[in-house]
Structure 1
Amino acid sequence: MDRQFYEQIKHILETARQKAYTAANSAMVEAYWNIGRHIVERQGGEDRAEYGSGLIKELSAQMTKDFGKGFTIANLKNMRQFYLTFPNGYALRSELSWSHYRLLMRVENERARSFYLDECVKSRWSTRQLGRQISTLFYERLLSSKDKAGVASEIKKLEPERMPEDVIRDPYVLEFLGISPNADFYESDLESALITHLQKFLLELGRGFSFVARQKRFTVDGRHFRIDLVFYNYILKCFVLIDLKVGDLTHQDLGQMQMYVHYYERELMNEGDNPPIGIILCASKSESLVKYTLPENEKQIFASRYKLYLPSEEELLRELNREYSALENAVLPESTKLPPL
């Protein structure tokens, strides 16, 4: 087949996809700005805390019922703030996503915010690039630097550039379109196989485990996090959070699990629940590890009761190694062969 002919066909499809991504994103940003405008107008433009809180709470409950996820109280408050921060809807840029605008809203300096907005469009920054530029005071550094070109170009080395498909994988866009995120977006073949086995293994233990979610997403300060497996143990009356790491375990992994545990403890525990437990499973050729992350001040409870119903580190480690070896040594078709670790 002629290469030039194929490149023409490829360009047609890539252009069409880009238009589809841009249209979905632009529609979402416009809708959220208008929702924010209606909330502000309903409140009379005043920050009446009691009325405003009740209105948003009722709106969140009804919209969640009708449209699913994406309309939490926190997100509706962000839409309200979106309108207040960018009252001129005609100035909104279709190139920027809702995630971009959430980051921009956190910039208090109006001049800096306008600079980041313009530069984000011009340089096609991803949300990670924009977030890094804001957190490292790029605007202030650029003003005081003599090497402005060097400062401006460093972001390309530090964070990946934005790709068209990033828009359609954005959880906010998927929620807006009413599409459930596919776990395949976030799991490699090996991770997926191990997580599937561990999910089955824990449910078959028969010690009170009830499956809650796989690749459970939650958002903190505009950053999305995903927990590989979430269970609820109805004997212990607590959430059990499990994260799998294919490769060596780092301090960042441990800190991230502690954050997961604290988030569930503060935001998702129901009345009568015990504090959640985090489990990190590390599958590595060099050394496999299992680490429990306990809630604060709960070591005695864990020692006396949790061990009766949760698998021990030795049990989990033995099962993880057994499955890891089986998957590694399996004879698979070339198209599904697992990537090397």
Structure 2
Amino acid sequence: MTMTTTHPAAVEPVGYTEFYETLRNRLREGRLRAAQAANVELLLVYWRTGKELIEHDGKFGWGTKAAERISEDVHRDFTAKGWTPADVLHMRQFAEAWPDSDAIARGAIGLLPWEHITVLLDRLDTREGRDRYAAKAVKHGWSPATLAHAIEHEPRRRLTECLVDRRVVGGHGFEMQSA
């Protein structure tokens, strides 16, 4: 004969469900705020690196070789993921695109991971466009691939590019008339 032991049902204290729901939400929100703060700090490291690269290039004539050396040294000293020469050059471009660090700390750009920012830098030429797509990526939770697809397939953007191309000599087979 097999005996089974049963545990008495746990008695839930009065108000526990509401208390625990509040605690669970507080933990989720705290983790999210901590992750966002860490992301902003990392982006500010990238931004400061880019800003200083711009300054050193102007002062000492540093070129792309500096990006290669920085990449090698960071990998050696920190075994950090990323920090390829292309990442270091993106850091410079990042500082040029957003010359004010407050935009990173307070704007949608600060809520995006680095890979999203490199998509914005590679595919858009204006701060306005980058900020607009950063906000869309945050609002909709886009992956980097979805962000890139949205940029490339926006009808208004393609129309504008087409109209601009037609004004260029030789664009779309049109030649400008001489006056």
Which interval holds the TM-score relative to the shorter structure? 0.5 to 0.7
In structure 2, C-alpha distance between the alignment counterparts of 1:63 and 1:120, rounded to whole Å: 30
- Post-superposition offset of 1:135: 2.8
Secondary structure at the counterpart of residue 111 of structure 2:
coil
Greater strand proportion: 1
2:72 matches 1:61: yes
Greater helix proportion: 2
Shift of 1:82: 1.2
The offset of 1:66, in angstroms, is 1.2
Structure 1 regions of 5+ residues with no counterpart?
A: 144-341
Superposed CA offset, 1:42-97 (max 9, x none): 00079x6xx41222222222221111132221211111111122222221233222
Q: Which amino acid aligns with 2:118?
A: R
Q: Does 1:99 align with 2:115?
A: yes
Shift of the 64–116 alpha-carbon distance from structure 1 to 2, 3 Å rule, reads same
Normalised by the length of structure 1, the TM-score is: 0.37
Cα pair distance change 1:5/1:99, threshold 3 Å = same
Following superposition, which runs of at least 4 residues in structure 1 exceed 4 angstroms of deviation? none
* Identical aligned residues as a percent: 29
Q: 2:167 maps to what in 1?
A: none
| Counterpart in the other structure of 1:28 | 42
What's 1:179 paired with? none
Counterpart Cα distance in 2 of 1:115 and 1:96: 13
Pairwise CA distance, 1:118: 3.1
Cα deviation per residue 1:262-299 (whole Å; 9 max; x = unaligned)? xxxxxxxxxxxxxxxxxxxxxxxxxxxxxxxxxxxxxx
1:134 aligns with 2:151: yes
Using the size of structure 2 for normalisation, the TM-score is: 0.66
Cα distance in 1 for residues equivalent to 2:158 and 2:135: 17
From the superposition, tell whether residues 45 and 79 of structure 1 become closer, same or farther in structure 2 (CA, over 3 Å): farther
Which one has a bigger Cα radius of gyration?
2
In 2 relative to 1, CA 109–73 (structure 1 residues): closer, same or farther, beyond 3 Å?
A: closer
Name the Cα RMSD after superposition: 2.7
Q: Which amino acid aligns with 1:72?
A: T
Q: Which residue of 106, 112, 115 corresponds with 2:132?
A: 115
